[in-house]
Structure formats: C-alpha cells, structure tokens
C-alpha cells in the first residue's frame, strides 16, 4: 500500500554529516548513471549475424528516423543492473512488513519450476494436443483454489488483484443483466477501510459507490449495511479479514442480508493468508473473491508485478465467468476460448448457453454457460500458476494451515510486544495476520508516522504500510507473514521499541532527517509532481548527477 499523507512539501534541510567522496560513492553504495548517459548507439551486447541483402516488403512503412536507444555491452549491462539492484530493499534481505501486501518468502524451487521449458517455452495458441500438461496444471491449480475457498468455480485469467476485482464485478453485472436488473441495481457498498482498488473497480464497471462506516471496534455493523440495502444495491465489496487486520465477525449475517436484498457479495481476497485452511469464504456467503497469487501463494512481487488474480465464484455467478475456461469431457481437458459473444448491451440472453454443450456437472472448474466476455488476450498468468502450484504442493493442506496460523501468531506477537508503547485505534484485541497501530501515541512528540517509518530505514528495516487504512489516523499497518523466525521478529520488535523510546525521550533528531544512511535521503516529491520529468532527454539532463562520469 502506498502512503498518501505526510510527504514533506519541500526537501528536508540537509544536516552536514558524512564526508564527500570524489566519486560520490559511499563504499559499497555505488552511484550509477542512466543507460542514456553510459551507453552508445553503436554498441550492442547481442551478437547477431548480418542478414543477406533483401528487398524490404514494408511498403510505405519503413522506419527512416533513428530510434535514440543506447546500447551496452554485456559486462556494462550486467554491472549497470547489478548496481541498480543494490539500491533496493528486498524480502530476501530482511523482513518486509508491509500490511496488506503479504511479503513472504519466495521459494526458489518455484522459480526453477516456472522456468522449465515445458511451461516457459510454449505458445498460448499451440494446438491443444501439444499442451496437455499445461492445461492439466491450470486445472490442478483451479482444484486447489476451489477446495481451499469452498467455492463453485474459478476464473483463472485475471492478471492481478485489481483485474480480478474487475472480473468479479463484471460477473455480477452480467448476472444482473441476465436478471434484467442491471439498469436499476447500480449501487455498490464499500466500507471506508477498503483498498482504493475497490471503489475504482466498481466505478469502472459502471456502478456507483456508496460508503459504509465502520463501528468503533473497526469492523462493519450489519445494521449499517442493512440500513443501506434496497433494490438499488447491486453488491457489497468487503475485505475479510479487513484492512484493519480484523475478522468481520458479522460477515455471514451481512452476506445473508445482502443476498436477501437481491445483491451479491464480493470479497477482496487480499488477506486470504490469515484464514487459508481455517475457514472457507464459500461458507461465509461470498459470491466472488479474487485471490492474489502474488500475496497468499508467494509468487514474487518483482518490484511491482506481475501478479495474478484468479477469481473464485459461487454457484450464483459461476455461469457468468469469462472465457477462456477449461472443460473436462470424455476427450480430456478442453480449453474453451469462445463463448458466443453477446454484443448487445441489454441482452446477455440464453442464446449463448448452447456454446458450451457439456453437461453442467461435467464442466469443472466452471460451467460459464453465459460467459460475460474476455479479460485478456490469452489464458492468464501461467508463469504465476506454476509458482503458486509449486508453493501449494510444497505446503500441502497441513502446511498452508500452519502458514496461516504462524502468520496470525506472528502478528499478535508483535501486537503483544508493542502494545504498551504504541497506540491501537480500536483497542487491544486479537488481530489476524496484520496489526494496526495509529499515531495517537506520537501526539505532541514532533514525530509523524512518516518520520517514524523513515527512521526504520536507517535501522535497516523496510517500514510497515503507513497512512493506510484511512480509518486509522496516521496508520501503521504491520504484516510480518509466516516467513520470519522468532529471532527476526524479536529484533524487529526491539528496534521499534528503541525508536519508540527515542520518541518518548524527545530525541526528534533521529526522525526528522531520516533516513540519512540509505542510498538516498528524503525525496522532493512536490518537485517531481509539479514539473514532471518522466523520461531522459538530452536537453533535460540538467539535474546534478553525482557521478563524475558525466
């Protein structure tokens, strides 16, 4: 989650410390220019034979201008990217306690499996007879997801969590269209604590968002939901456990009320890690839920993706799942790529049901009798599917449940170890896999949540999620995951305690100029937004570069 508040309006004044070096390097922290400064257009790091002379067949479309791309030889390229990499924090290097992000260990077995040519070197449009193993893998992963969540079916193609949200809400829209209620049911209820993607998704699918406040303990009140339910409501979008790290204990009642009012229940599955093997969303009344394979099932985050967001669907929505999908019949697994498209907006009629001719009972993982359309060019994030299945097979039903328990145990251990110093917005109760603190305890100390987070960087830690969820003032949301040893948790806790004592002792110096030991100090984000420089240009290369190379 991205913090949205507390950014410094201007660069913080520099404290004079540390001596300058000729290179601007600081030991192993090495400055690196841009490829446009160190590369040359005539250099290449790839040896390719000169083709025999040919007469082009490009018609009037031959490129006449230079592209403007520098090249690097292989040693230069390797050095460039290795140096860049060294400026990044990573889960491999330390705890990455970003609440809501589930930064757990990424097993290297999963990487190796995804790179097997049998998965990495196959084309999505090869004859199906040549990719039987790939289809079987998708089918097996589907089975795991369906069993784990207790749902009817799963749509595998969504490419990330937000894409999965779109998939689920489109299925809901399609179901409403089929019921003839799409024009009248336009409201989607979203709690104030929701991820920003929820309201953004609902709007994008053509719904209107109505907010639902949380009660004093951070959870949703079924009465508040009921008060907003009528025949204009299409769905509720709810995260469970919610973004405050709390299990919505009224969830079944809420689901029942929403269903009774003719709406659907979309669950944001970002926090599935807390409950896998402990309870099943299908038993809670969920109609659609995306699963972030890059969170719960440990496909690596890669500095911002790729992810994968398969969507499990209840029996009420399964028939509307998008293409493509797998169908098992006498001949084995078939990839169905074309449900008849219903192009008329007002008619997602039954005509399309003839496209899938198999018996409904034989159509696992999902029947998709009235598929709402297509979300992406091909079949989804196969590379992530392989990693996720490797992760699930490794853990098994027992290991996944143990992982959920350890994640919840670790979050509560942090809560219990910090509750005397930090403040919790909703009182001290057991949390799920993440623990939420606010900035009440910082009041009057001259230290903000942001300052505190930046001081953690100097101590060698990635900060927790800050300023999210919005329902807590100056939020600090900590999610340790099950990947941390007790020694790692203890050091993390001891560090936060030490920082907290500094706050209490009035040692604001430690915070206000932090970080001072990272590759960069605080950035002038106002300047970045006011005069956007989004690419390198020859003329624009005016900013001082620390490297003598320039």
Partner 1 sequence: MRYLPLTSEDRADMLARIGVGSIDDLFAEIPAGMRLGDLLDLPRHKGELEVERLLRGLASQNVTAGSVPFFLGAGAYKHHIPASVDHLIQRSEFLTSYTPYQPEIAQGTLQAIFEFQTQVAALTAMDVANASMYDGSTATAEAVLMAHRITGRREAVLSGGLHPHYAEVVRTTSRMTGDEVVTLAPDVLAREDLCACVTEATSCVVVQSPDVFGNLRDIAPLAARCREKGALLIAVFTEAVSLGLVKPPGEMGADIVVGEGQSIGNPLGFGGPYVGLFAARQQYLRQMPGRLCGETVDAEGRRAFVLTLSTREQHIKRDKATSNICTNSGLCALAFAIHMTLLGEKGLRRLASINHAHTIDLADRLETVPGVEVLNETFFNELTIRVPGDAADVVERLAARGVLGGVPVSRLLPGQGLDDLVLVAVTETVSEADRAAFVERLEEVVRC
Q: Between residue 498 and residue 537, which ones bind partner 1 under the rule CB under 8 A?
A: 513, 515, 518-525, 527-529, 532-536
C-beta separation of 275 from 241 below 8 A: yes
The DSSP output letter for 358 is S
Choose the binding region for partner 1 from 4-12, 310-318, 359-367, 497-505 (rule: CB under 8 A).
Answer: 4-12
C-beta separation of 358 from 330 below 8 A: no
The DSSP output letter for 414 is H
**186 is a contact residue toward partner 1 (CB under 8 A):** no
Count of CB atoms within 10 A of residue 537's CB? 11
Task: State both tokens at 352.
Answer: 């399309």
* Binding track over 333-372 against partner 1, x by CB under 8 A: ----xx--xxx-x--------------------------x
Q: Which helix (H) or strand (E) holds 333?
A: strand 332-336
CB of 497 to partner 1, least distance (A): 13
Choose the binding region for partner 1 from 36-44, 258-266, 440-448, 500-508 (rule: CB under 8 A).
Answer: 36-44
Choose the binding region for partner 1 from 9-17, 222-230, 356-364, 496-504 (rule: CB under 8 A).
Answer: 9-17
The residue with tokens 């979309």 is: 266
CB of 380 to partner 1, least distance (A): 6
> In this complex, which beta carbon is closest to partner 1, that of residue 104 or of residue 447?
104
Which residues, 58 to 97, sit near partner 1 by CB under 8 A?
58-72, 74, 77-78, 80-93, 96
| Distance (Å) of CA 235 to CA 252, 318, 373 | 15, 16, 20
Task: State both tokens at 108.
Answer: 């290297």
Count of CB atoms within 10 A of residue 190's CB? 24
Which residues, 92 to 131, sit near partner 1 by CB under 8 A?
92-93, 96, 98, 101, 103, 105-107, 109, 111-113, 115-127, 129-131
Tell me the C-alpha distance between 389 and 308, whole Å: 13
Helix axes 197-204, 161-179, angle to 10 degrees: 40
Compute how many residues bind partner 1; rule: CB under 8 A. 221
CB of 439 to partner 1, least distance (A): 18
Which residues, 427 to 486, sit near partner 1 by CB under 8 A?
430, 432, 453-454, 457, 462-463, 468, 482-486
CB of 504 to partner 1, least distance (A): 22
C-beta separation of 339 from 370 below 8 A: yes
Phi, psi at 317, each rounded to 5°: -115, -15
- Out of 30, 305, 328, 497, the only residue in the binding site for partner 1 (CB under 8 A) is 305
Which residues, 126 to 185, sit near partner 1 by CB under 8 A?
126-127, 129-134, 136-137, 140, 144, 147-148, 159-163, 165-166, 170, 173
* Terminal alpha carbon distance of the chain: 36
Phi, psi at 465, each rounded to 5°: -65, 135
Please name every residue paired with 327 in a beta bridge, in sequence order, or none if there are none. 334, 365
**6 is a contact residue toward partner 1 (CB under 8 A):** no
Choose the binding region for partner 1 from 51-59, 357-365, 436-444, 502-510 (rule: CB under 8 A).
Answer: 51-59
**51 is a contact residue toward partner 1 (CB under 8 A):** yes
């Amino acid at each position: 989650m991205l913090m949205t508040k507390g950014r410094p309006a201007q660069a913080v004044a520099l404290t004079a410390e540390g001596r300058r070096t000729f290179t601007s390097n600081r030991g192993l922290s090495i400055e690196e220019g841009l490829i446009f400064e160190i590369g040359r257009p005539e250099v290449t790091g790839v040896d390719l034979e000169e083709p025999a002379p040919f007469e082009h067949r490009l018609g009037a479309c031959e490129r006449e201008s230079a592209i403007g791309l520098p090249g690097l030889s292989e040693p230069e390229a390797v050095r460039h990217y290795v140096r860049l990499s060294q400026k990044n924090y990573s889960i491999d290097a330390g705890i990455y306690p970003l609440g809501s992000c589930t930064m757990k260990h990424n097993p290297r077995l999963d990487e190796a499996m995804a790179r097997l040519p049998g998965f990495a070197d196959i084309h999505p449009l090869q004859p199906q007879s040549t990719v039987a193993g790939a289809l079987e893998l998708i089918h097996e992963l589907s089975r795991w997801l369906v069993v784990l969540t207790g749902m009817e079916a799963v749509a595998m193609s969504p490419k990330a969590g937000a894409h999965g949200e779109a998939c689920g809400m489109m299925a809901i829209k399609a179901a409403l269209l089929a019921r003839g209620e799409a024009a009248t049911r336009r409201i989607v209820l979203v709690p104030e604590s929701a991820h920003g993607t929820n309201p953004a998704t609902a709007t994008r699918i053509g719904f209107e968002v109505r907010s639902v406040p949380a009660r004093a303990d951070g959870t949703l009140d079924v009465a508040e939901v009921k008060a907003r339910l009528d025949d204009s409501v299409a769905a509720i979008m709810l995260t469970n456990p919610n973004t405050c790290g709390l299990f919505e204990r009224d969830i079944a009642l809420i689901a029942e009320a929403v269903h009774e009012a003719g709406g659907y229940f979309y669950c944001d599955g970002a926090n599935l890690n807390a409950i896998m093997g402990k309870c099943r969303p299908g038993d809670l009344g969920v109609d659609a839920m995306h699963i972030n394979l890059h969170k719960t099932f440990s496909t690596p985050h890669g500095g911002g993706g790729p992810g994968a967001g398969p969507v499990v669907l209840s029996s009420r929505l399964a028939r509307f799942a998008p293409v493509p999908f797998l169908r098992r019949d006498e001949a084995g697994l078939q990839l169905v790529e074309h449900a008849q498209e219903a192009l008329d907006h007002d008619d997602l009629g039954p005509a399309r049901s003839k496209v899938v001719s198999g018996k409904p009972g034989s159509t696992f993982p999902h029947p998709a009798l009235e598929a709402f359309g297509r979300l992406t060019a091909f079949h989804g994030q196969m590379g992530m599917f392989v990693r996720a299945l490797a992760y699930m097979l490794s853990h098994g039903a027992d290991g996944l449940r143990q992982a959920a328990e350890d994640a919840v145990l670790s979050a509560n251990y942090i809560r219990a170890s910090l509750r005397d110093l930090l403040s919790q917005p909703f009182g001290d109760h057991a949390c799920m896999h993440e623990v939420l603190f606010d900035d009440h305890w910082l009041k009057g100390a001259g230290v903000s949540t942001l300052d505190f987070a930046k001081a953690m960087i100097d101590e060698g830690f990635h900060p927790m999620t800050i300023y999210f969820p919005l329902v807590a003032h100056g939020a600090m949301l900590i999610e340790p995951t099950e990947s941390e040893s007790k020694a790692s948790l203890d050091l993390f806790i001891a560090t936060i305690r030490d920082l907290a004592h500094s706050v209490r002792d009035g040692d604001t110096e430690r915070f206000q100029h932090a970080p001072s030991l990272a590759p960069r100090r605080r950035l002038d984000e106002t300047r970045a937004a006011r005069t956007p420089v989004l690419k390198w240009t020859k003329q624009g290369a005016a900013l001082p570069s620390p490297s003598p190379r320039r």
